[in-house]
Amino acid sequence: MTTAADHIYINGDFRPMDGAVGENPTAVAVKDGRFVALGTDAEISALTDSGTSVVDLAGAVVVPGFIETHLHPMMWGLMLSGVDATTSACPTVDKLITALAARAAITPVGEPIEAWGFDDSLVAEDRGLTAADLDKASTEHPILVRHLSAHGIYVNSVALEKAGIDSATVDPEGGVIVRDSDGVPTGELCEVPAMSLVHGLVPEMNPDASKIAMLRAQEVMASVGVTSFHDMYVTAEMYEAYRQLDADGDLRLRARLYLGHGVHDQLGELADPTTRVQVGGVKLISDGSIQLHTAAMTEPYHDLDGCHCGGMAIPAGALGALVEEHHAAGRQVAIHTNGDQAIDFALDAIAAARAAHRGVEVSHRLEHVQTLREDQIARMVELGVVASIFVNHVYYWGDRHRDRFLGPGRGERISPVASVVAAGLAYALHCDCPVTPVNPLFTMNTAVHRVTREGHVLGADQRVSTSDALAGYTSAAARLTGESSDKGRIAVGLLADFVVLDGDPLRSAAGELNELSVLRTVVGGETVFEA
């Protein structure tokens, strides 16, 4: 090759993740946003001219850019302006009430107050919130506190009144209005159909706010090595915000968008994808959250006296119709499935759609798959279905799943990454931010060690190697969307997306991936973060 590169990076220790055996390259050359050569420092340094930028990596380790396959960055960015209701900020209900009251004191009367991140299973009182609790903060503002799982919301009496929710209000299909023994709503609403009853109390998301939120999220993602991400529920307004950010040159990471059902119809004929924005398919939320007992299980929850298995947010018949509609159109469907019954129904729907449209080849996705069984893994392989696994559940809620929600048997097995890898199923790992923080190295570490918040190993047989964990954010993650020819490896012809680390994730003696730090994040050869 004689053409000079736009950028070269030398004196590095590259981990290409391409399966090749032999000496790792120490330098790479980039032209027009893609790798054009890998080799020694001397070989790559020969590909320079006066216009080539040269970066000395000082011996640091380089891996492919991290692909975060399931998060909600615009939602997360918007939440940053609300009250922080997470356990770290508000470990007790009283602390949360104090924080909400403080916000109410500086908020004009009648305007809503929002909070994000409350978890009834982690707060000191070990309970959910009621309207009576939230009324202590204010009876002059609607108050909405979102559960950390994003599958529930707690509101005060003002919000209930403004939304017209009372004892006579019928539960919407797929949602639950939690009531006391007298049938009076407590202020807790579970799942999207019920939560949507109060969505009109807060201002609609506008493009300007969405763009600001995305820029906040982008900064954090770049700092932890994310070069591509999948936004897993995008509205028409959010789509327009992404395109504007891209057109203005402000979107520096690669976004793959999964639209809510019906958004395709709202947008009409979609514009051609760009190097930064692509539409991946459609997101369907078929069931709920294990922590809220709304995930659809084949066996009852351990802590509910054998009488409750959760339920479907989208009934099985309706799910089948939606999957067939999108499959026939050639769209990849990403189906939220926490409970094993939800997984069964999703696979039934996919099998039926494939049988009805044998000429259409689409590889569909299942999201989270917390309670995935061995027989379901085999069926996913057979159907060509891929999995994005929410392994962070092991750390954040693993103790509660084992001791409370699922019991020892099912609880030990949540997020069975080792079984997925052994079966050859295409997979990725994810954080579901803002449900858990975006930090791929932490998520990989959880997959490797499966250590819970309380320090226990949960399901030792489901631990994976550091190589498999890293693949879950690089080479394997790229397979999820058929992008292996563009992403996930460091190889000639692929997009020049990579991460520079202060240690080797594949050779660390301690194997503590979360102790590594990101020194530099590069997208298309351009540095988007430098420590």
Residue 405 has pLDDT above 50, yes or no: yes
- Of the ranges 11-25, 261-275, 467-481, which one carries the lowest mean pLDDT score? 261-275
The mean pLDDT of 248-264, rounded to a whole number, is: 94
HEC readout, 182-197: CCCEEEEEECHHHHHH
What pLDDT shows up at residue 510?
56
298 in a domain, yes or no?
Answer: yes
Q: Please name the residue that has the structure tokens 């940053």.
A: 80
What pLDDT shows up at residue 269?
60
pLDDT-derived band at 380 (thresholds 50, 70, 90) equals very high
What pLDDT shows up at residue 278?
94
What residues have CB less than 8 Å from 436, skipping those under 6 apart?
392, 396
Q: Give the range of the structural domain holding residue 16, as residue numbers without chain letter.
A: 7-59
Residue 173 has pLDDT above 90, yes or no: no
What residues have CB less than 8 Å from 82, skipping those under 6 apart?
113, 114, 115, 116
Look up the CATH number of the domain holding residue 175. Answer: 3.10.310.70
Domain total in the chain: 3
Look up the CATH number of the domain holding residue 403. Answer: 3.20.20.140
Q: Are residues 13 and 97 in the same domain?
A: no
Residue 217 has pLDDT above 80, yes or no: yes
Q: Among 59, 74, 103, where does a domain finish?
A: 59
Secondary structure (3-state) at 281: strand
Q: Which two tokens stand for residue 404?
A: 């409370």
pLDDT-derived band at 470 (thresholds 50, 70, 90) equals very high
pLDDT-derived band at 5 (thresholds 50, 70, 90) equals very high
297 in a domain, yes or no?
Answer: yes
Distance from chain centroid for Cα 185: 31
The mean pLDDT of 352-374, rounded to a whole number, is: 97
Residue 356 has pLDDT above 50, yes or no: yes
The mean pLDDT of 215-239, rounded to a whole number, is: 95
The mean pLDDT of 223-234, rounded to a whole number, is: 97
Q: Are residues 197 and 221 in the same domain?
A: no
- Of the ranges 85-89, 141-145, 280-284, 415-419, which one carries the lowest mean pLDDT score? 85-89
Q: Among 168, 201, 234, where does a domain finish?
A: 201
- What residue type is 48 in one-letter code? T
Q: Among 152, 171, 201, where does a domain finish?
A: 201
Q: Are residues 337 and 430 in the same domain?
A: yes
Q: Which two tokens stand for residue 290?
A: 């294990």
pLDDT-derived band at 270 (thresholds 50, 70, 90) equals low
> Higher model confidence: residue 75 or residue 55?
55
What residues have CB less than 8 Å from 529, skipping those under 6 apart?
222, 223, 518, 520, 521
Residue 207 has pLDDT above 80, yes or no: no
pLDDT-derived band at 1 (thresholds 50, 70, 90) equals very low
Q: Are residues 211 and 112 in the same domain?
A: no
Q: Are residues 400 and 320 in the same domain?
A: yes
What pLDDT shows up at residue 210?
85
Residue 2 has pLDDT above 60, yes or no: no
What pLDDT shows up at residue 452?
96
Residue 21 has pLDDT above 80, yes or no: no
The mean pLDDT of 163-191, rounded to a whole number, is: 93
Instruction: State how far the Cα of 90 lies from the Cα of 469, in Å rounded to an integer.
Output: 32
Burial class (CB in 10 A: 0-12, 13-18, 19+), 363: middle
- Which pTM was predicted? 0.90
What pLDDT shows up at residue 164?
95
528 in a domain, yes or no?
Answer: no
Q: Is 222:202 a contact under the CB 8 Å cutoff? A: no
Quick: pLDDT tens for 298-339: 999 999 877 799 999 999 999 999 999 999 999 999 999 999
Q: Please name the residue that has the structure tokens 């789509």.
A: 239
351 in a domain, yes or no?
Answer: yes
Q: Are residues 454 and 357 in the same domain?
A: yes
Q: Is 481:70 a contact under the CB 8 Å cutoff? A: no
The mean pLDDT of 233-259, rounded to a whole number, is: 94
